[in-house]
């Protein structure tokens, strides 16, 4: 039992030593590094898969060791928690010490001031009493005690720069607070992304299923999201001649709180760098792209229009890929319907540039849209139970021969093609979509508050020096008074010298006149 206690005590002591904290700080830095050098799942899971595939056993080993999820890994959390404990262990005794020191008087004057790092002396005709009184005046603003010494001497112990310790403690406690607030934010926050058509498309934060992707914190189950709705009325982008974007603007309207009941919409110009903040959530404009509009006229004369977003594959020219899918009209029999579904896939260029038959995009604005499409007919596999991407067709259906290519053609805006069964497909142009991100982080304000405190504490603790000065005036046999001044910087020595020189000059020089 006592052995266990001793072990615990030693562990605690070891853990809370400054050296341990320093080592843990290093480990934290070292542990964070792989996250900058290796692809991370949280940022780009495709890249991680690629990396693992490219590196064989090495990639799998790294994966097993959580090197692709560094910041959620067991070992990173362990360092984090240990550092945290070590910090608490460092801070508690220090705070206690601080309170004791604050009430204590400045320490006794050392017997031999000549041994101090800073020292000066002189003699004078003034009495010790007068010397000390003069010194007390000069040391205004310092914490001082005056003491009598045997043999008729008098001394002053003075101390200054106590605020340094205050700043230091504020810095460290705020760091602690920051770590806690950050961790809580990760637990209770969420983040979701969704694509909305920019012609009045709507999104409501009423459930996880409304999102394209949703990343909840550990403590979020998605049942109690903050209620609000957003409607995207219009989107406008401007570009420089070289295709670099100059501005993005989404004209949106939103409703939250009481507005939801009254049906009131409030306008907001959503831009990059200026998110909508409502109902405790933030809505960001993340990106945009194009939706090609196709009108299909079936042999029986019925028409359908398709407006599915395609996704940019070139972020500079916004050349996009995707798949727009159609069910034939008036075919109640599922079996029958599955034989005659249609899919239009291929490349969309907002500003067409043809090299021979090859289509590419020359510019990100929709100046002259064109598509290079393959048309497939057959069973898209939408009822197969396998999930499928909205951006592509299920290649397995093509391989199995259930889906066949029936046409391939380039179409400019307004052009059309006719399939063998008389179906006509017309490319009507494009429409903008925007991708929005919704973020919720209940503690981010706390993180900010603690960061500001970190800065303030740091500034105070680095700019204020803690230092001591002692003055001793003692009578000599010849009737003159010997004045000695000694100084000690309690913290880093850099820079105390000049102040001490000025101080000792004042403390000593004045005497000769009297």
Partner 1 sequence: MPVNATLATYSDWTYAAAVAIYFLAAVLYLCEAAFARPAKARELAGAVAAGGTRADGTWTPGLVAKPERSRAERLGRMGVALAVLGALLQTASLVLRGLATERAPWGNMYEYGSLLTLAAVVTWLVLSRTFDVRRLGGFVLVPIVILMFLGGTVLYTDAAPVQPALQSYWLVVHVSVISVSSGVLLVPGVASVLYLLKTSGRARFAKLPDAEQLDRLAYRSTVFAFPLFTIGIICGAIWAEAAWGRFWGWDPKETVAFVSWVVFAAYLHARATAGWRGRPAAWINSLGFALTVFNLFFINLVTTGLHSYAGVG
Interacting residue ranges for partner 1, rule: CB under 8 A: 18-19, 21-22, 25-26, 28-29, 32-33, 35-37, 40, 42-43, 70-71, 182, 191, 240, 242, 244-248, 271-275, 282, 284, 286, 437, 439, 441, 444, 447-448, 451-452, 454-455, 458-459, 462-463, 491-492, 494-495
Q: Which is nearer to partner 1, 83 or 116 (CB)?
A: 83
**Strand (E) positions, 68-187?**
118-124, 143-148, 154-160
Q: Which is nearer to partner 1, 146 or 439 (CB)?
A: 439
Cα angle vertex 273, ends 270, 278, to 5°? 55
What is the dihedral sign for C-alpha 332, 335, 337, 343? positive
Q: Which is nearer to partner 1, 208 or 331 (CB)?
A: 208
Please report how close the Cβ of residue 58 comes to partner 1 at its closest, in angstroms.
19
CA distance 196 to 182: 31
* Residue-wise burial string across 26-64, b where 16 or more C-beta atoms lie within 10 A, e elsewhere: ebeeebeebbeeebbbeeeeeebeebbeeeeeebeebbe
Distances 480 to 347, 427, 485 between C-alpha atoms, Å: 101, 108, 16
Please report how close the Cβ of residue 454 comes to partner 1 at its closest, in angstroms.
7
Please report how close the Cβ of residue 303 comes to partner 1 at its closest, in angstroms.
38
CA distance 313 to 322: 10
Please report how close the Cβ of residue 192 comes to partner 1 at its closest, in angstroms.
10
Do residues 443 and 181 lie in contact, with contact meaning Cβ atoms separated by under 8 Å? yes
Task: Name the residue among 242, 269, 272 with its Cα closest to residue 254.
Answer: 269
Q: Which is nearer to partner 1, 347 or 447 (CB)?
A: 447
CA distance 214 to 437: 10
CA distance 284 to 255: 16
Q: Which is nearer to partner 1, 241 or 476 (CB)?
A: 241
Helix (H) or strand (E) holding 216: strand 213-216
Structure tokens at 190: 């969420």
Q: Which is nearer to partner 1, 240 or 258 (CB)?
A: 240
Please report how close the Cβ of residue 29 comes to partner 1 at its closest, in angstroms.
4
Q: Which is nearer to partner 1, 153 or 364 (CB)?
A: 364
Backbone φ, ψ for residue 230 (5° rounding):
-130, 140
Q: Which is nearer to partner 1, 28 or 424 (CB)?
A: 28
Please report how close the Cβ of residue 353 comes to partner 1 at its closest, in angstroms.
22
Please report how close the Cβ of residue 70 comes to partner 1 at its closest, in angstroms.
8
CA distance 362 to 280: 41
Q: Which is nearer to partner 1, 20 or 144 (CB)?
A: 20
Please report how close the Cβ of residue 160 comes to partner 1 at its closest, in angstroms.
18
Please report how close the Cβ of residue 71 comes to partner 1 at its closest, in angstroms.
5
């Amino acid at each position: 039992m006592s052995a266990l206690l001793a072990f615990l005590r030693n562990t605690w002591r070891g853990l809370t030593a400054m050296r341990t904290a320093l080592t843990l700080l290093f480990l934290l830095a070292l542990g964070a590094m792989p996250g900058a050098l290796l692809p991370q799942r949280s940022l780009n899971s495709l890249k991680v898969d690629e990396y693992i595939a490219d590196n064989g056993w090495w990639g799998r080993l790294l994966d097993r060791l959580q090197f692709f999820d560094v910041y959620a890994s067991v070992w990173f959390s362990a360092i984090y928690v240990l550092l945290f404990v070590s910090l608490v262990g460092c801070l508690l005794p220090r705070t206690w010490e601080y309170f004791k020191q604050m009430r204590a008087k400045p320490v006794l004057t050392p017997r031999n001031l000549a041994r101090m790092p800073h020292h000066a002396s002189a003699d004078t005709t003034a009495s010790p009493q007068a010397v000390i009184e003069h010194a007390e005046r000069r040391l205004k603003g310092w914490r001082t005690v005056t003491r009598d010494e045997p043999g008729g001497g008098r001394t002053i112990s003075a101390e200054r720069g106590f605020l340094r310790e205050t700043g230091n403690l504020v810095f460290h406690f705020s760091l602690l607070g920051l770590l806690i607030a950050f961790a809580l934010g990760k637990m209770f926050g969420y983040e979701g992304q969704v694509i909305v058509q920019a012609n009045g498309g709507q999104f409501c934060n009423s459930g996880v299923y409304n999102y394209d992707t949703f990343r909840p914190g550990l403590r979020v189950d998605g049942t109690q999201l903050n209620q609000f709705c957003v409607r995207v009325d219009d989107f406008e982008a401007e570009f420089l001649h070289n295709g670099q974007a100059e501005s993005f603007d989404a004209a949106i309207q939103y409703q939250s709180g009481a507005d939801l009941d009254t049906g009131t919409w409030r306008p907001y110009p959503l831009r990059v760098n200026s998110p909508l903040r409502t109902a405790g959530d933030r809505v960001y404009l993340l990106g945009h792209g194009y939706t090609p509009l196709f009108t299909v006229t079936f042999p029986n004369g019925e028409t359908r229009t398709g407006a599915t977003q395609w996704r940019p594959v070139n972020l500079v020219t916004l050349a996009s890929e995707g798949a727009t899918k159609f069910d034939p009209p008036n075919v109640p029999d599922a079996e029958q319907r599955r034989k005659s579904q249609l899919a239009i896939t291929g490349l969309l260029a907002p500003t067409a540039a043809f090299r021979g038959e090859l289509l590419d995009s020359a510019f990100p604005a929709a100046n002259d849209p064109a598509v290079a499409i393959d048309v497939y007919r057959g069973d898209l596999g939408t009822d197969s139970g396998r999930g499928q991407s909205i951006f592509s067709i299920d290649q397995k259906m093509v391989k199995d021969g259930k889906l066949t290519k029936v046409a391939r053609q380039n179409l400019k805006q307004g052009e059309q093609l006719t399939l063998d069964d008389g179906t006509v497909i017309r490319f009507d142009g494009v429409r903008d979509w925007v991708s929005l991100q919704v973020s919720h982080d209940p503690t981010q304000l706390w993180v900010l508050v603690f960061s500001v405190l970190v800065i303030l504490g740091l500034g105070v603790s680095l700019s204020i020096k803690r230092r001591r000065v002692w003055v001793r005036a003692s009578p000599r046999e010849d009737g003159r008074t010997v004045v000695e001044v000694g100084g000690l910087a309690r913290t880093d020595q850099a820079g105390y010298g000049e102040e001490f020189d000025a101080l000792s000059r004042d403390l000593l020089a004045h005497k000769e006149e009297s």
